[in-house]
Chain A
Amino acid sequence: MSKVAHEESRALDSVEAVREACAEFRLVADRLRTEIAQVLVGQTTVVEQVLMALFANGHVLLEGVPGLGKTLLVRTLGRALGLQFSRIQFTPDLMPADILGTQIVVENQAMGRRELQFRPGPIFTQILLADEINRASPKSQSALLEAMQERAVTVAGETRKLDRPFLVLATQNPIEQEGTYPLPEAQLDRFLFKVTVPYATRTDIATIIDRTTGARAREEETKAVLTAREIHFAQDLARKVLVARHVQDYAVRLVLATHPTGTASLAEVERMVLVGASPRGGQALIAAAKVRALMAGRCAVSTQDIAALVAPALRHRIVRTFEAESAGVTCDGILAQIVQLVPAEAQP
């Protein structure tokens, strides 16, 4: 860890330095993964994708039924990273000020007068858990927009920068749709990943029971294995990972293939997709693929990295047609078909 910390001042000016940095990145990711795994049982894919989002400096929308460890994951991640952690429980009566903060009247004892003072909301943190985000009204949901995109908050005409890294981990429940406010496309687009949290396996459930009903709580024992500066360096390193033109072209072709109209659209997709992925989808694919390549110890992105991340990066960016919904075709199914149809080989 310390070595990585030193790297922030070291220039990656040689092949050896690059290799060393890539290798250490992999070690750090492994260490973080191990630390989380001590608390969170199973859900390796979810953890993997959350870590990718973290190093790609993106936000994650976790979707899963209650009790699968979404909140625990975020909390553990906050502890393991040694970052400030806040949790907002989204409810219908939640107001934007409850998220962003508000100005209150305080009495200045020294001056002997009252003045307005900004009291930061829970968004002024480094890891924000927006629990059950779809339960808040759109007005409150949109309070997160600026923070997620600009990493800044504007209150009373004054813009305040958020600390880096800033990661929003929102959760939502796919069931209990009554009284919920589905996230608008503009907000969904700002999440790097939408991670679907699956049910735990038989072994995982047994382990969870053992761990949570024992004498001591493992969550409390979680240690911080990474600092904010190291995360910042890792994020910078990830941005430098090599992407060959034809690999990037593959990502572009995948994004274009989600469009219901256009030259690159696929006939099979046209009738199932109402709205295709935006350019942010392509950005998300490449950014996350870079992290994935680093985590695999490579310094260049491959088409396999991209193909593996199509579902989490694009599933919340496409809107299905009524026909697809009525036929029970999921976004993941559509994207899997696209990956199958779009050739990974470089096109002349």
Chain B
Amino acid sequence: MNDLGPIGALIARARRRLFLADLLQKGARGVLLAGIALAAIAIIATLIAPWLTVVQERGMWFPLAAGVVLCALVVYTFVTRARDPGDIAVASLVDVRMKLHDRLSTAVAVAHRTDPFACAAVEDALKLACDRRLAEALPRALPIATPKNWWAGPLLCASATAIWWLVPALSFAGTAPAAAQSDLDLQAARDAAKVQIESLQVKIDENPELSKAVAGSESEKRLSADLSDEKLHTPEEVRRETTRKVNELSKRLDELLGGEQAQQLEAMKDALSRIEPAKSGPLQKLAEALKRGDAASAKQELENLQKQLNEGKMDERARKELAAKLQDLAQQLKDAAAAGDALKKALENAGLDGALAKNPQAAKAAIEASKTLNEAQKQALKQALDAQSKAGEKLEKLAKACESMCTQCKNGGSKSGKGASKSGAPGESSSANPSSSEGAAEMAADSLSEMEMLNEMMKDAESARSQCKGSCSSNSPSNTVSDSSKMGANRGRGTGGERTKEETATGTKARKEKVELTSGEVIARQLVDAPPVVGESRAVLQQLSGEIGRGYEEGTEEDPVPANLREVHKHYFGDLKKKIDAKNVQPAASAPAAAPAPAPPSGVKK
């Protein structure tokens, strides 16, 4: 093996120069590509994806760029090592560039040979490699020079960086990027929704009883749910979600306002309004407060009265007068408790005997037995019955309290009831002994307190509901909120209308078939192509049902049926003819041919 010392050194030097030249070449190209990428990122970040500015804002730019450059250098070094052309290729390149007639490369290629020609070639190459002029000429043959237009890449990089840093993301080209604006709108919508919901929450929490009544319900849970859900991408979605939440709360408040407690309060107020207060006297204020339904004032008056009685400052005449008044008030309260006018009216409206209002057990049995009432109506009536019953109990308590006070007055006023109270079992509270005047007064105060509390709760619930309505309407005018006030009392459910009327032999009369009421929505409506009904309303029912049976599919094309009702719809119209046929309804044989008159096509509704 021939020693290639100087040749090896020359090749190593040439290799280094080639590496550096290649690095410069590829580096310039890489910087150009990086500049293009950076410009693209800057444009995207400015116009399309402002979230990219996070990289900029958090100061991650320089570490990121340095990391990318370092990685690129490492990869380049590894790739260059892997693609090492070898000594012969480097020597050949030097030979060609310096026009050395392949002396160096041939020497490297035949270094392992020992024949005279090979040795001569190696010696020749060694002599050449030792020549100083060759070493001096090498840099000219293998220049480490920056490539042409090397400045383009750095310039592009600098420009892109300047654009990114100096031009704000939201004011590029003088217009707000849609995405950024959208994000801002989204945040604003979330903030607005949060304020609305928090104000509602505060409103409800102001009244502990109301808060307790709403707490734990689905609407309350939903109201508490965070609006910063990732599924809510647009302000519109946030507004809709807010509207849904508020709407559900509003429904819950509606339920509360139409619920048993509200009915109980109304029943009490209704009953108390029947009281006829005296024009003057010690009980005037109490009676007036009760008539007004002002439980707080009534409670205060009752406590004052009890205090006066307990102190025994009243003279005999005053006590007698008070006793008479109290007796009268107690009687009025008893009468009011027994009256139940609202329940009576409701029962009569439902086709039941109004007198049942005075007998809750019988009324309950009658409601259960009724075939003309649907389940919802039955439930409502039962609820009204319960409310009336509870209101009556409370009024009874008031009446008893008045009677007790009356007895105290008759007995001489102060502490008269205490003996009775003391005669009770040890440990028995006064409130547990209605015969005690103090205990009765406390019971009455409790009833009045409860009434006051209910009153406050209902007022707050009403206020919260109003706020909910306001929030819903302000959130999205296009998102209509169901408003029960714009609907009928039965919310679209059939009521059955008037009582069935007797048929007459002749004459055109509107007639509504007596039907069994069921709850549910209107599932379909179909126009039927049939001969116009003129004269006496005796439609050829079989013909009509036949048309219905054949034409329901056609009808669905004109008036598409909701997906969840298709089966029901098909079943209903499909089976209608069978049912009519089974009934074997025949038109009247004596039906005269009436004079033709224009009439709209018959319609069938369910």
Q: Do A and B assemble together?
A: yes
Q: Mark B36-73, 1 if CB is under 8 A from A, else 0.
A: 00000000000000000000000000000000000000
| CB proximity of A217 to chain B, nearest CB, Å | 41
Most buried by A among B100, B106, B110: B106
| CB proximity of B587 to chain A, nearest CB, Å | 96
Does A329 belong to the interface (CB within 8 Å)?
Answer: no
User: Contacting B117 at CB < 8 Å: which of A300, A304, A347, A348?
Assistant: A300
Q: Given A247-B106, A303-B102, A348-B86, A242–B92 Cβ distance below 8 Å?
A: no
Is the beta-carbon distance between B124 and A244 smaller than 8 angstroms? no
Is the beta-carbon distance between B96 and A303 smaller than 8 angstroms? yes
Is the beta-carbon distance between A302 and B95 smaller than 8 angstroms? yes
Chain A contacts for B116, CB-based, 8 A: 12-15, 17-18
| CB proximity of A34 to chain B, nearest CB, Å | 24
A14 CA to B92 CA, complexed, in Å? 26
Chain A contacts for B102, CB-based, 8 A: 244, 246-247, 300-304
Is the beta-carbon distance between B123 and A15 smaller than 8 angstroms? yes
Is the beta-carbon distance between B110 and A246 smaller than 8 angstroms? no
Q: Mark B85-107, 1 if CB is under 8 A from A, else 0.
A: 11011011101100111110110
Does A19 belong to the interface (CB within 8 Å)?
Answer: yes
Is the beta-carbon distance between B88 and A304 smaller than 8 angstroms? no
Q: Given A246-B105, A300-B103, A304-B101, A241–B85 Cβ distance below 8 Å?
A: no
Is the beta-carbon distance between B89 and A240 smaller than 8 angstroms? no
Q: Which residue of B lies closest to A245 (CB)?
A: B109
Chain B contacts for A18, CB-based, 8 A: 116-117, 120
Chain A contacts for B119, CB-based, 8 A: 15
A14 CA to B119 CA, complexed, in Å? 9
Does A286 belong to the interface (CB within 8 Å)?
Answer: no
Does A178 belong to the interface (CB within 8 Å)?
Answer: no
Chain A contacts for B100, CB-based, 8 A: 302
Does B121 belong to the interface (CB within 8 Å)?
Answer: yes
Q: Mark A241-257, 1 if CB is under 8 A from B, else 0.
A: 11011110000000000
| CB proximity of A339 to chain B, nearest CB, Å | 13
Is the beta-carbon distance between B117 and A241 smaller than 8 angstroms? yes
Does B118 belong to the interface (CB within 8 Å)?
Answer: yes
Is the beta-carbon distance between B99 and A300 smaller than 8 angstroms? no
Is the beta-carbon distance between B106 and A300 smaller than 8 angstroms? yes
| CB proximity of B123 to chain A, nearest CB, Å | 6
Most buried by B among A17, A246, A301, A305: A246
Does A346 belong to the interface (CB within 8 Å)?
Answer: yes
User: Contacting A304 at CB < 8 Å: which of B84, B99, B105, B118?
Assistant: B99
Q: Which residue of A lies closest to B86 (CB)?
A: A348
Does A151 belong to the interface (CB within 8 Å)?
Answer: no
Most buried by B among A13, A304, A345: A345
A348 CA to B246 CA, complexed, in Å? 77
Chain B contacts for A244, CB-based, 8 A: 102, 105-106, 109-110
Is the beta-carbon distance between B88 and A246 smaller than 8 angstroms? yes
Does A287 belong to the interface (CB within 8 Å)?
Answer: no
A241 CA to B105 CA, complexed, in Å? 16
Chain B contacts for A14, CB-based, 8 A: 116
A302 CA to B95 CA, complexed, in Å? 9
Q: Which residue of A lies closest to B89 (CB)?
A: A346
| CB proximity of B83 to chain A, nearest CB, Å | 8
Chain A contacts for B110, CB-based, 8 A: 242, 244, 300
Interface size range on B against A? 20 to 34
A17 CA to B119 CA, complexed, in Å? 12
Q: Which residue of A lies closest to B88 (CB)?
A: A346
| CB proximity of B8 to chain A, nearest CB, Å | 16
Is the beta-carbon distance between B88 and A299 smaller than 8 angstroms? no
Chain B contacts for A348, CB-based, 8 A: 83-86, 89
Chain B contacts for A232, CB-based, 8 A: none
Q: Is the interface of B mostly helix, strand, loop or mixed?
A: helix
Q: Which residue of A lies closest to B115 (CB)?
A: A242
Is the beta-carbon distance between B96 and A345 smaller than 8 angstroms? yes
Q: Given A15-B123, A246-B105, A303-B102, A344–B96 Cβ distance below 8 Å?
A: yes
| CB proximity of B601 to chain A, nearest CB, Å | 82
A348 CA to B85 CA, complexed, in Å? 5
Is the beta-carbon distance between B106 and A302 smaller than 8 angstroms? yes
| CB proximity of A60 to chain B, nearest CB, Å | 25
| CB proximity of B452 to chain A, nearest CB, Å | 100
Does A164 belong to the interface (CB within 8 Å)?
Answer: no
Q: Which residue of A lies closest to B94 (CB)?
A: A345
Chain B contacts for A245, CB-based, 8 A: 109
Does A211 belong to the interface (CB within 8 Å)?
Answer: no
Is the beta-carbon distance between A19 and B120 smaller than 8 angstroms? yes
User: Contacting B124 at CB < 8 Å: which of A13, A299, A304, A305?
Assistant: A299
Chain A contacts for B101, CB-based, 8 A: 293, 296, 298, 300, 302, 304-305
Chain A contacts for B88, CB-based, 8 A: 246, 346
Is the beta-carbon distance between A345 and B93 smaller than 8 angstroms? yes
| CB proximity of B17 to chain A, nearest CB, Å | 15
Is the beta-carbon distance between B106 and A347 smaller than 8 angstroms? no
Most buried by B among A13, A15, A247: A15
Q: Mark B112-130, 1 if CB is under 8 A from A, else 0.
A: 0000111111011000000
A345 CA to B106 CA, complexed, in Å? 12
A134 CA to B110 CA, complexed, in Å? 45
Q: Which residue of A lies closest to B84 (CB)?
A: A348
Chain B contacts for A347, CB-based, 8 A: 89
Chain A contacts for B89, CB-based, 8 A: 246, 345-348
A298 CA to B127 CA, complexed, in Å? 13
Is the beta-carbon distance between A302 and B92 smaller than 8 angstroms? no
| CB proximity of A17 to chain B, nearest CB, Å | 7
Q: Which residue of A lies closest to B118 (CB)?
A: A242
Chain A contacts for B106, CB-based, 8 A: 242, 244, 247, 300, 302
Chain B contacts for A305, CB-based, 8 A: 101
A163 CA to B88 CA, complexed, in Å? 43
Chain A contacts for B103, CB-based, 8 A: 298, 300, 302
Chain A contacts for B99, CB-based, 8 A: 304
| CB proximity of B36 to chain A, nearest CB, Å | 29
| CB proximity of A306 to chain B, nearest CB, Å | 10
Q: Given A15-B123, A302-B95, A304-B99, A346–B117 Cβ distance below 8 Å?
A: no
Most buried by A among B83, B109, B120, B123: B120
Q: Which of A1-52 contact B (CB under 8 A)?
A: 12-15, 17-19, 22
A345 CA to B99 CA, complexed, in Å? 11
Chain B contacts for A303, CB-based, 8 A: 92, 95-96, 102
Chain B contacts for A15, CB-based, 8 A: 116, 119-120, 123
Chain A contacts for B109, CB-based, 8 A: 244-246
| CB proximity of B398 to chain A, nearest CB, Å | 111
A57 CA to B238 CA, complexed, in Å? 96
Q: Which residue of B lies closest to A248 (CB)?
A: B109
| CB proximity of B279 to chain A, nearest CB, Å | 123
Chain B contacts for A247, CB-based, 8 A: 102, 105-106
A239 CA to B1 CA, complexed, in Å? 24
Q: Which residue of B lies closest to A11 (CB)?
A: B116
Chain A contacts for B121, CB-based, 8 A: 242, 299-300
A240 CA to B120 CA, complexed, in Å? 12
Q: Which residue of B lies closest to A296 (CB)?
A: B101
Q: Mark B530-562, 1 if CB is under 8 A from A, else 0.
A: 000000000000000000000000000000000
| CB proximity of A325 to chain B, nearest CB, Å | 33
Q: Given A302-B102, A304-B101, A246–B92 Cβ distance below 8 Å?
A: yes
Most buried by B among A241, A293, A299, A305: A299
* B residues apposed to A, CB below 8 Å: 83-86, 88-89, 91-93, 95-96, 99-103, 105-106, 109-110, 116-121, 123-124
19 A-B residue pairings within 8 Å (CB atoms): A15-B116, A15-B123, A17-B116, A19-B120, A244-B102, A244-B105, A244-B106, A244-B109, A246-B102, A247-B105, A302-B103, A303-B92, A303-B95, A303-B96, A304-B99, A345-B93, A346-B86, A346-B89, A346-B93
Nearest 6 CB-CB pairs, A to B?
A302-B101, A346-B92, A302-B102, A244-B109, A244-B106, A348-B85
Q: Other than the known A22-B120, A244-B102, what 7 A-B pairs have Cβ atoms closer than 8 Å?
A: A12-B117, A242-B118, A244-B106, A246-B105, A246-B109, A300-B124, A346-B86
